[in-house]
Amino acid sequence: MMQDAAGGLRFTLDLPSPHEPRRFKVRPVAEGEAGAVEELLRHAPGVSRHTPPAETPLAASVRLGAFDEMRVLRAFADLRLGAPTADGCFVELLVVDPRYRRAGLGAHLFGALAARLREAGARRVALEVDDGNDGAARFWTRLGFAETARLDERRAYEKRLA
């Protein structure tokens, strides 16, 4: 089941760069690292957390962080495994350090996560974007997400993995 995949979401992510490649360790964020999460959120004004619709009773939440070589949190994703359906994953939030935006970290992080989710049995990923957050809408569309519905002040997107 998707909920069981949370423990296996640990990997190394290599971000290609014309200057020097960057390596990130992706793993669940520990409770003691909440300050680093809050710091990233301070640099993401207007970011809203979206609760997955029609959650399954067995859905599991996981916060995964991408840490650089100095063990500094540079991005994180809040995922709800097993939502909105048992074979799905809902992205509640994806935040990237402003110094790493437009460098490919968010896209590479999601691509690696999608591959691991697919291996764990996920068939689709869903998310919501606030109206007016055109940058996020373009980001997710570039990654292959399609708008599926207009909701109150937000848009729903989905991507099939299999």
pLDDT of amino acid 114: 93
Higher model confidence: residue 85 or residue 73? Answer: 73
Q: CA-CA distance, 15 to 110, in Å (whole number)?
A: 12
CATH code (residue 61): 3.40.630.30
Report which of 131, 155, 126, 130 is spatially closest to residue 143, judged by C-alpha positions: 126
Report which of 18, 34, 13, 37 is spatially closest to residue 93, judged by C-alpha positions: 37
pLDDT of amino acid 33: 93
Tally of structural domains, the chain: 1
Residues near 57 by beta carbon (within 8 Å), at least 6 away in sequence: none
Q: Which two three-digit tokens encode residue 122? A: 């996920």
Please determine, for residue 6, whether its predicted confidence score (pLDDT) is greater than 60. Answer: no
DSSP 131: T
pLDDT band of 20, cuts 50, 70, 90: low
Higher model confidence: residue 2 or residue 8? Answer: 8
Residue 149 neighbours by CB distance under 10 Å: 11
Residue-wise pLDDT for 113-131, tens only, equals: 999 999 989 999 999 999 9
Q: CA-CA distance, 147 to 42, in Å (whole number)?
A: 28
Residue-wise pLDDT for 128-150, tens only, equals: 999 988 989 999 999 999 999 99
Domain containing residue 74: 2-160
Please determine, for residue 16, whether its predicted confidence score (pLDDT) is greater than 60. Answer: yes
Please determine, for residue 2, whether its predicted confidence score (pLDDT) is greater than 60. Answer: no
Sheet holding 146-151, edge to edge: 11-15, 22-28, 60-67, 73-81, 88-96, 124-130, 154-160, 146-151
